[in-house]
Amino acid sequence: MSRMRFVALFVVLILLLPSAIAQDEPVIHIFNNSGTLQFDAGGSDPDVLQRVQDHIAEQSGVRPVTIVPGGAASATEQLNLLLGSSDPVDLFQAPGNGWHDYAMAIIPITDLLAEHGQNIMQVIPESQWDIMRNADGDIMGIPRSTPTSPYITWVRQDWLDELGLDVPTTWGELEATIDAFRAHNPEAMVATRPGDVRWTTLGGFTPNGHSNWLDPDDGMVKPWVLQPGVRDWVTELNSWWEAGYFFPDTFTRFDAPELFRTCNLGVWMGWYSRITLITPQIESGCEGIAWARTSITTDMGYIATARPQNASAYVVTRKAENPAAVIQFMDWVYSADTTDNQLTARYGIKGEMWDYLDEESRLVGPDLSFGYVSEYMLPNLNIEIRYSLDDPSRAWHVEYLGGQLIDLGDAKWPFDGGLAYNLSRIADEVPTLGDLNRLLDEQTILFITGQRPLDQWDDFMNDLERAGINDWVKAISAQYNELGGV
């Protein structure tokens, strides 16, 4: 073959190649900011990922391509830039104020759900769709969150056993337990996070906990900070800080797994998965470590506040070239008849990367050695609780999801929990909302850590007024009344 003919043949082959490998399935692009990949930003092994993608495309009829966020902290920033660009993105999880913030970038999916989303509608209870509807009654997204009680106080069961103590049930008993822990181990600490501490403890000092509340004096709905008792809460936590109970970095940035690895954490007041996911990882280094979930009360009631469903949702973008395919894929993952699909999205190819150890009880045995890190998993508690896991690193976590996490019995239910506020509209009506949030985040920490004297509490209230908290009260109250109250 002459050189010219060879070159011509090569060119023809190159031109034909794309059509030869063309895929029949519609392709959808998922920005997976659901939190699944926050510790696996590097993604799966490319070959394994391709195989899982091919398998899902064959099973679902849709080829999903996942965009992995570079890191949990910057995922929202990446998403916002992606939506403003010409790059394809069809599906993402609306963070922040939920779908309201992204109303201009997404499409209603009522008709698509009716046509392609029977499984989704069946799996997610009717009560969880209200918050997804816009003023016209259209469904704007698939609910991501459900009512849960994730902010709980945990104490070290192994230390309680060692000291012959019972699990504390009152605030006073909790303090006595911490004192006993510290006498037993001078390094023993209490840890929380700036965002968690209100949820885990405010209920013990205020009538409504970490929640808006209705002021009977003027009939207005007000934010948590204006409740009677908040100053007592700050004073009490300040006394804990002064007594040295808290881990010194608890109100700044810290690496939670590293903190747990010290084995000196005696009390954790925060997000449940720090306990259920980190503990199995550190068990070998902290011999006998075990945790007890508490149900602590004061004379004001439970100290924890439950977390109502919010407007966080899986949404379909305006840019989506084939919105029906997006819903078709989600419907496949959320299959009502089988857990196979969600487990395929979570663990990869069935029979190879995972399988049922007991099909009837849906006990699953995953093989994590393949290096697939769940790019196609789009979690929702309604489907996550349908199986149990034979994986020591996650079995407790999965079991917890289906049990104690959704038990709202030992936490205060927020006064207006579940009311479908349009927080995006409130942000527009209260231009200083960012300032108010900074004041709340910053000043409560300064009071707790003693960097601002408690006798300046009234000045703080004045600062809130100057920053426009009354506009916030008016905006929330207006929406509360529009929604018909509770």
Partner 1 sequence: MSARSMMSQRPYSPPAANDGKWRRLLKRVWFYRFYYLLALPGLLYFIIFHYLPMIGIVIAFKDISPFGGVAGIIEAPWVGFKHFNRFFNSIFFWNVIENTVIISGLKIIFGFPAPIIFALMLNEVFRVKFKRFVQTVSYLPHFISWVVTTGLVTALVATSGGLFTEWLNELTGERWTFLTNPDQFRGILTLTHVWKTIGWSSILYLAAMSAIDPALYEAAAIDGANRFQMARHITVPSIAFVITILFIFEIGNLLDAGFEQILLLYSPAVYSVSDIIDTYVYREGLLGLKYSFAAAVGLFKGVMAFLFLIAANTLANRLGQPGLW
Residue ranges in contact with partner 1 by CB under 8 A: 76-77, 80, 83-84, 96, 101-102, 104-105, 194, 247-249, 251-254, 258, 262, 318, 427, 431-432, 434-435, 438-439, 441-442, 445-446, 449, 451, 463, 466-467
Minimum CB distance to partner 1 smaller for 17 or for 81: 81
If we measure between CA atoms, which residue out of 270, 223, 233 comes closest to residue 416? 223
If we measure between CA atoms, which residue out of 83, 73, 143, 84 comes closest to residue 113? 143
Smallest separation (angstroms) from partner 1 to the CB of 308:
22
Minimum CB distance to partner 1 smaller for 50 or for 85: 85
Q: Which helix (H) or strand (E) holds 176?
A: helix 171-184
Smallest separation (angstroms) from partner 1 to the CB of 327:
20
Smallest separation (angstroms) from partner 1 to the CB of 185:
15
If we measure between CA atoms, which residue out of 192, 144, 202 comes closest to residue 171? 202
Smallest separation (angstroms) from partner 1 to the CB of 460:
12
Smallest separation (angstroms) from partner 1 to the CB of 292:
24
Minimum CB distance to partner 1 smaller for 208 or for 444: 444
Smallest separation (angstroms) from partner 1 to the CB of 276:
23
Query: Which alpha helices (H) appear in 61-109, and where do they start and end?
Result: 75-84
Minimum CB distance to partner 1 smaller for 115 or for 138: 138
Smallest separation (angstroms) from partner 1 to the CB of 268:
15
Minimum CB distance to partner 1 smaller for 194 or for 418: 194
Tokens describing residue 52: 């899982």
Q: What is the CA radius of gyration of the chain?
A: 25
Smallest separation (angstroms) from partner 1 to the CB of 271:
17
Torsion of CA 95, 100, 104, 109, to 10 degrees: 90
Minimum CB distance to partner 1 smaller for 125 or for 431: 431
Tokens describing residue 43: 């993604």
Minimum CB distance to partner 1 smaller for 68 or for 191: 191
Contact in structure between 160 and 177 (CB atoms under 8 Å): yes
Smallest separation (angstroms) from partner 1 to the CB of 89:
11
Query: Which alpha helices (H) appear in 70-109, and where do they start and end?
Result: 75-84
In angstroms, the CA 98 to CA 110 distance is 17
Gap between the terminal Cα atoms of the chain: 83
Classify residue 413 by its DSSP letter: P
Smallest separation (angstroms) from partner 1 to the CB of 470:
13
| Amino acid found at 235 | T
> Which CA distances in Å does 242 have to 216, 229, 246, 387, 448?
35, 20, 9, 45, 9
| Amino acid found at 458 | D
Q: Around Cβ 266, how many Cβ atoms within 10 Å?
A: 24
Taking each helix axis as running N to C, give the angle between helix 323-333 and helix 340-347, from 0 to 180 degrees, rounded to the nearest 10. Answer: 100
Minimum CB distance to partner 1 smaller for 244 or for 485: 244
Minimum CB distance to partner 1 smaller for 189 or for 343: 189
Minimum CB distance to partner 1 smaller for 226 or for 446: 446
Minimum CB distance to partner 1 smaller for 269 or for 349: 269
Position of tokens 């006998």? 288
In angstroms, the CA 100 to CA 123 distance is 23
CA angle 442, 446, 447 (to 5 degrees): 120
Minimum CB distance to partner 1 smaller for 102 or for 370: 102
How many helices (H) and strands (E) would you count in the chain? 19, 16
| Amino acid found at 152 | I
> Which CA distances in Å does 240 have to 51, 175, 180, 236, 259?
53, 9, 14, 7, 19
Smallest separation (angstroms) from partner 1 to the CB of 346:
29
Contact in structure between 148 and 255 (CB atoms under 8 Å): no
Smallest separation (angstroms) from partner 1 to the CB of 309:
22
In angstroms, the CA 45 to CA 348 distance is 12
